Amino acid sequence: MAVIDEVPQGLAVRGRTLLSRAGRPLGLLTSADRAVLQIWVISRVAVLALSWPAMWILQGSSHSDRSWLGLWEQWDAARYQVIAQYGYFHALDVYGSFGPAGHPLPQQVAFFPGYPIVLAIVHVVIRQWVAAELLISFVAGAIAVVALGRIAEKDFGAGLGRPAVLYLVASPAAIFLAVGYAESLFLALALCAWLAARNGRWALALLLAGASAIVRTNGLFLCAALLVAIICWAGPRRGRALALYPLCLVPPAAYEVYLRVSTGTWTAWQQAEKAGWQRQLTNPVTAFRTTWAAGFSHEFSAPISFVFQLEPFAVLAGLIATVVLLVHRRWPEALYAGLTIAALATSIWYESVPRALLLIWPVWCGLAYMARKRPWLGQVYLVAAIPISAAIGLLYLTGNWAG
């Protein structure tokens, strides 16, 4: 009888072992993953709660007839909808155009096609455009925080996944992870690419990085960082990984060729950036002075000035992160962070840098690492960041410029 009783137990143990081994390659959620997802869901509830005061703020204003879903359809979210519905060249009059006579160029070509493509696909099922955008951000953000938690645990230390995700979702520009912007989708692709690279899965990493490179320009910086990562991490597989490297360059190159065929110029994207957002290469000293004047010399309305006041501090945070990464010889991460900040700090003025910080994941992992040694640091960050995040969220939802 004892032998008979032991057989089912042995089979059960072997069955659990086989299921565990089978589940690992599939990336089944661990308890740490579920913990960061809980933070993500709670933070989404907090963002939804902001819509309540936003609706009341709009009462009596010129936008008093705006619906609840209309709160989320602001600025770039509306532009992405136009691209998803009409493409780049079928609605030139929606947001204006520029270019030589007879060759109008839509400003929206500055927006890479990855997000509009995903939005158009999701809209086949979710027929309301804003609802489709919100769903994309929610699902992509969930994937992103799981990947961020795993990267923090793997590269910076056990137990750091939850605080890294908490610091991300509490950051000043966190509202853009919830609305119809490309940040959540980019983070999902970029962080999964980085996690794949850290696990030595170079083909997957390069494919995901290529996908991220047609969602936001930061994907190009990610591709550059992955080249350094291959050199630093690939070891005996370096040759094969380098041979696969062009995979990540195909999607952005295809978009560039598309613009060349459609517009007759190789510089359509740069022209759109300059015409629509005054972004062009500028002396960094001049960029700082212009930004400081925009924030503190009362040239703009109070909400716009407030947002510009945050920009220099965001640039400083990015520079500090880059220097710390260099000191610790994290060359790939340092290149990614440095290129991101350099691109924004050498424009006519600093614009949307707090939003760009969302995409520099070593900032959140590093902050979690430092706060473990000095808990007061994380507490001070949260005390300062959460009110600013709420303010930026209300600015966006009420139709004010928020970065």
How high is the pLDDT of residue 153?
96
Both tokens of 109, joined, read 């070509």
How high is the pLDDT of residue 5?
38
Pairing of strands 105-106, 97-98: antiparallel
pTM for this entry: 0.91
How high is the pLDDT of residue 176?
98
Residue ranges of the chain whose pLDDT lies below 50:
1-26, 100-102
How high is the pLDDT of residue 280?
84
pLDDT tens-digit series, residues 20-30: 433 343 358 99
How high is the pLDDT of residue 376?
97
Contact predicate 336/380, CB 8 Å: no
Indicate the angle between helix axes 129-151 and 76-86, nearest 10 degrees: 110
**Which residues, 6+ apart, have CB-to-CB distance to 36 below 8 Å?**
145, 146, 148, 149, 161, 162, 165
How high is the pLDDT of residue 64?
66
How high is the pLDDT of residue 277?
80
Amino acid at 243: A
**Which residues, 6+ apart, have CB-to-CB distance to 367 below 8 Å?**
163, 164, 167, 377, 378, 381
Q: Which residues of 74-108 are buried (b: 16+ CB within 10 A; e: fewer)?
A: bbbbbbbbbbbeeebeeebebeebebeeeeebbbb
How high is the pLDDT of residue 10?
43
CB atoms within 10 A of CB 308: 24
